[in-house]
Amino acid sequence: MHPVLATSETKAVPIHLVDRASWPGLRETLDPAAVAFAEAAGFEPRPGRHALLPSAEGALAGVLFGVDPQDRPGRDPFLPGRLPALLPAGTYRFEGPLAEPRLAALAFALGAYRFTRYRSGNDRTEIHLVPPDGAGDDLSSVIEAAYLARDLVNTPSNEMGPFELEEATRTLAAKHGATVRSIVGDALLNDDFPLIHAVGRSSARAPRLIDLTWGDADAPKVTLVGKGVCFDTGGLDLKPESAMRLMKKDMGGAANVLAAAHMIMSRGLKVRLRVLIPAVENAVSGNAFRPLDVYRSRKGLTVEIGNTDAEGRLVLADALTLADEEVPDLLVDMGTLTGAARVALGPDLPPFYTADDALAAALARHAAAEHDPLWRMPLWAPYDAMLESKVADIDNVATGGFAGSIVCALFLQRFVSAAKSWVHFDIFAWTPATKPGKPEGGECQAARALCALLAERYR
* Minimum mean pLDDT range among 91-100, 252-261, 367-376: 91-100
- The per-residue pLDDT for 123 is 62
Which residues, 6+ apart, have CB-to-CB distance to 63 below 8 Å?
13, 14, 15, 16, 50, 51, 52, 53, 83, 87, 92
- Read off the pLDDT of residues 58-88 as tens digits, 9 standing for 90 and up: 899 999 999 988 767 778 999 999 999 999 9
Q: What's the pTM?
A: 0.96
Check if 313 is active-site: yes
Are 6 and 91 contacting, i.e. CB atoms less than 8 angstroms apart?
yes
Considering 82, 93, 299, 313, which one is annotated as catalytic?
A: 313
Res. 455 pLDDT band, cuts 50 70 90: very high
Instruction: For the chain, give the mean pLDDT.
Output: 96
Considering 49, 170, 239, 376, which one is annotated as catalytic?
A: 239
The b-or-e profile of 73-86 (16+ CB within 10 A means b, else e) is: eeebbbbbbbbbee
Instruction: List the beta bridge partners of residue 183.
Output: 209
Check if 239 is active-site: yes
Helix (H) or strand (E) holding 167: helix 162-176
- Stretch 415-435: mean pLDDT: 98
- Read off the pLDDT of residues 363-422 as tens digits, 9 standing for 90 and up: 999 999 999 999 999 999 999 999 999 999 999 999 888 999 999 999 999 999 999 999
Q: Which one is predicted more confidently, 125 or 56?
A: 56
Are 91 and 129 contacting, i.e. CB atoms less than 8 angstroms apart?
yes
Give me the percent of the chain exceeding a pLDDT of 90.
Answer: 92
pLDDT of 122 > 80? The answer is no
- Quickly count: other Cβ atoms within 10 Å of residue 437's Cβ: 27
Ordered by where they begin, the domains of the chain are 13-136 (3.40.220.10), 140-458 (3.40.630.10)
Q: Phi and psi (nearest 5°) for 156? A: -65, 155
